[in-house]
Every structure is written in structure tokens, then in C-alpha cells.
Amino acid sequence: MMKIPFNKPGFSGKELAYIKEAVARGHLSGNGYFTKKCHQFFEKRFRIPKVLLTTSCTSALEMAGLLVNLKPGDEVILPSYTFVSSANAFVLRGAVPRFVDIRPDTFNIDETKIASVITKRTKAVIAVHYAGVAAEMDAIQAVARKKNIPIVEDAAQAVDATYRGRFLGTLGDLGAYSFHETKNCMSGEGGALLINRKALIPRAEIIWEKGTNRCQFFRGEVDKYTWVDVGSSFLPSELVAAFLYAQLTHLGKIKEKRKKIYNFYTESLSTLAQRGEVRLPIVPKHCHPNYHMYYLLFSHKRERNRVMAALKKKGILAIFHYIPLHLSPMGKRFGYQAGDFPITEDVSERILRLPLYNDLTLNDQKFIVKTLKSIIS
């Protein structure tokens, strides 16, 4: 029987050569040759004042939590329809998550609902760009700026996607990327913090390097390094950076490949959409996605679950996410309950994500589409 996984890591072919080079260079801890190559790649290509590779997007978000100076009882605003780290990185500092419902079209935070949950304790708005499609950053910036609240972009899924021509992750005060195996471009585990506000750069470097001014020392700006602030070990080894750099050299190709796959789904499934059997992804005109994800929205949870099970029987792994954070055991501890965010709860029950990875073949994709159509009609 055919077996089509949900995700499969793709390679540029240069990964092992670059790892070999890192070994030959004899510097395997962080912040070496390949780390700097990755930093420069992003800083130039996406016009970012400062990038710091991290061991994951989760740890980049944790750095953001430290940089916005969260204190116990402070609040952060974010959607409930997201990955756990969007909340956990800030809850770890004692912050209280103030969830907001999502828009029914892009499943991003409903920007019109942010103002009503802002309080004196609000210390950050976390803008998650779901599926590599931008949240409404103009409106989010307008409401946050009025109250001087920093914006952290969780751009984990959004590397190489844009909003009104600007790259996601570069629009807020801070941004976070993920290079987890399931993302478009990856290093197994990995991430980056984007520092878009220059004033935050010195402290970001210190937090990154275990609370020391070691970055300054390496640049020759101080004659010894020492403990100057809080921090942790957020930097990945050169082996990870070498692997990642090999992926980055293919960033354009990766998007091209995924775009083809994405468009084939849309073209082949449009008849089902026209008949009202499923809803396809909606991408606003001013948002250019990176084709991170393809999903279908079914009429009912029952139908979604039936299709998911039938696909699995045919060897095709389609999955859904997220369990809304406000309905999780942790969410309930913060006092949330069913019914609080109706659109989030509804989407979570009706969504199904289809296999989409860089090397998904046209043959496999045709099989997925044919099987879907036979299950649905």
C-alpha cells in the first residue's frame, strides 16, 4: 500500500559538506563562522537590524519574554489558536495569557478584539502568523503603539513570507523564527530571534550569551567578559548552524517547490470547494505566503474526522491542530472555559491539514487528490 507521510524533511544536498567544513574549522560551539553566515543571510535578505540564531523558536520567544521585562502578573495578548510556545515562553516568566479569538478567514488573531483586553498590565502583543499568512499588522501596530506595548511576532511558520511587501518577523519590535523539522526550512531543531528595535540589541546579545558580555569581548569592545545580566544558553552549536546554512542557500527553491504543490491542491480541489464540501485557505491580496501549510475546512467535525480516518486507511496521513490553548489543562487553570472563543473552537474542530513537504511528488499528490475526492463524494 502507498504510504504518504504528513511531513518529510527536505535537504539541499549541501548539509553534510557544510557540517564537515564546520568540523574542519575546529570551532563547534556557538557563534562561529556558520552562525555568522546565517545571521548575515537574514539581516541582508530580509533587512533585519540584528538576528541571533537560537536552539528553537520556543527559546527565541523565551528571549523575547526576558527582553520585554515580564514580571509575575503581567499580561500578554495572543490568540488561543496557536502552538503552545506562543504562550508558554511568556507564562514561564509569570505572565498571564489574555487570549483573543481569531479571524474566520486567515485564523490569525482578530485585530479588532485586541483593544478591549488591554489593561495596565499588558506588556506584549504576540502576533502569530498562521500558516505563513500575515496577521493584520497595520491594525495591530496601531492599537499597540497607542499604549506603547511591544509587539512580538511569532513568525515560526512564516520565514520568507511578506505583508505589504515586508518580511514577516521584521514588523514587530521582536520576531521569532522556527527551523524545526516540520517547517519550510529547518535544522532539526532550531530558531532565530529577530531584533528590529536597535535599542534592544545589546541586551539581546547578553541574554543570548548566558547573561555575559561575551559578544562584546569577542568584538574587542571590552578586555574581559563577565556576568552582567540574566540570560541563558540560547545559541545553537556550529553543527546546527552549518546544517541550517545549507538549507538557507535553497530558500528560494523551497518556496517555489511548495508553491507548486500548494497551487496544485487549490486547482484540483476547487470543484469540491464550489460544491460547498470544503473551504480552501484564504490569503488576503496584500499577504504573500511562504506556502507553509495546506488545509481544508469541513462543514462538521464528524465529516472532518470521517475523511481523516478514511485517508489514513489509504495510507495518507492528514492531521489537525490546534487544541485551543484556552481549553487545555493549562488554559483552564487561567480560568478559561468552552465557549470563550467560538471561532477558535469551531476551526479547531473542522480543519484538516494535508501532506505538504518540499519533495512531495506530483504522483503522490495526484493520489491524495483522487483519494480525497472519492472519499468525499
Ligand X SMILES: *Cc1c(COP(=O)(O)O)cnc(C)c1O
Q: Kindly list the residues in this chain that would bind ligand X in the complex (CB under 6 A).
A: 56-58, 82-83, 85-86, 128, 154, 156-157, 178, 180, 191
Residue pair 120/148 in contact (Cβ under 8 Å)? The answer is no
**Residue 101: which residues within 8 A CB-CB, separation 6 or more?**
79, 80, 110, 113, 341, 342, 343, 344
To ligand X, the closest distance from the beta carbon of 145 in angstroms equals 23
Region for 182 from its dihedrals, namely left if φ exceeds 0, alpha if ψ lies in -120 to 50, beta otherwise: alpha
C-alpha span between 195 and 175 (Å, rounded): 7
Which of 154, 205 has the CB closer to ligand X?
A: 154
To ligand X, the closest distance from the beta carbon of 168 in angstroms equals 11
To ligand X, the closest distance from the beta carbon of 322 in angstroms equals 9
Instruction: Identify the three-state secondary structure at position 170.
Output: coil
Residue pair 193/64 in contact (Cβ under 8 Å)? The answer is yes
Which of 156, 311 has the CB closer to ligand X?
A: 156
Residue pair 195/52 in contact (Cβ under 8 Å)? The answer is yes
Ranges of beta strands (E only) in the chain are 50-54, 75-79, 96-100, 122-128, 151-154, 162-163, 166-167, 174-178, 191-195, 278-279, 287-288, 295-298, 351-353
To ligand X, the closest distance from the beta carbon of 120 in angstroms equals 27
At position 19, the amino acid (one-letter code) is: I
Q: Which of 243, 168, 244, 233 is nearest to 207 (CA)?
A: 233
Residue pair 241/22 in contact (Cβ under 8 Å)? The answer is yes
What is the torsion angle, in degrees rounded to the nearest 10, for the CA atoms of residue 159, residue 161, residue 164 and residue 165?
80
To ligand X, the closest distance from the beta carbon of 94 in angstroms equals 20
Region for 75 from its dihedrals, namely left if φ exceeds 0, alpha if ψ lies in -120 to 50, beta otherwise: beta
To ligand X, the closest distance from the beta carbon of 181 in angstroms equals 9
Which of 30, 212 has the CB closer to ligand X?
A: 30
Phi first, then psi: give them for residue 162, nearest 5 degrees.
Answer: -130, 160
To ligand X, the closest distance from the beta carbon of 102 in angstroms equals 13
C-alpha span between 107 and 128 (Å, rounded): 10
Which of 82, 213 has the CB closer to ligand X?
A: 82
Which of 180, 258 has the CB closer to ligand X?
A: 180
Which of 176, 307 has the CB closer to ligand X?
A: 176
To ligand X, the closest distance from the beta carbon of 98 in angstroms equals 18
Which of 86, 106 has the CB closer to ligand X?
A: 86
Which of 82, 212 has the CB closer to ligand X?
A: 82
To ligand X, the closest distance from the beta carbon of 55 in angstroms equals 8
Task: Tally helices (H) and strands (E) across the chain.
Answer: 13, 13
Which of 46, 322 has the CB closer to ligand X?
A: 322
